[in-house]
Amino acid sequence: MSDPNNKFLFIAYSLVWIVFMLYAWSLARRQSKLRRDLEELKSRTALRDIPPPREP
């Protein structure tokens, strides 16, 4: 005979799973954005180090 309280067990574990998945997604999104920003800034600092063209 199924226990009517099992739905609370299912909901609890489902919500915990959802919370952690959402947080993991948030972390991954922020890491991705920071990585892109870092690469862009590194390329801009590298460009500044390029010597100016020689005069004719």
Partner 1 sequence: MTAHAILTLAWLLVALYMIFIYAPSDVNQGNVYRIMYVHVSSGWTAMIAYFLVFVGSVWYVWKRSPFADDVACASAEVGFIFCSCLLITGPLWAKPIWGIWWTWDARLTLTFVLWLLFVAYLLVRSFFINPGRAALLSAVVGIIGFVDVPIDYMAIRWWRTQHPQPVIMGGPNSGLPPSMEATLFVSAGAFLCLFFYLLRQGLRLAEARREIGQLRRLLSE
Enumerate binding residues for partner 1 (CB under 8 A): 3, 5-6, 8-9, 11-13, 15-16, 19-20, 23, 27, 30-31, 34-35, 37-38, 41-42, 44-45, 48
Kindly tell me which of 12 and 54 has the beta carbon lying closer to partner 1.
12
Beta carbon of residue 11, minimum distance to partner 1 (angstroms, whole number): 6
Got the DSSP string for 1-56? Answer: ---TTHHHHHHHHHHHHHHHHHHHHHHHHHHHHHHHHHHHHHHHHHHHTSPPPPP-
Beta carbon of residue 18, minimum distance to partner 1 (angstroms, whole number): 10
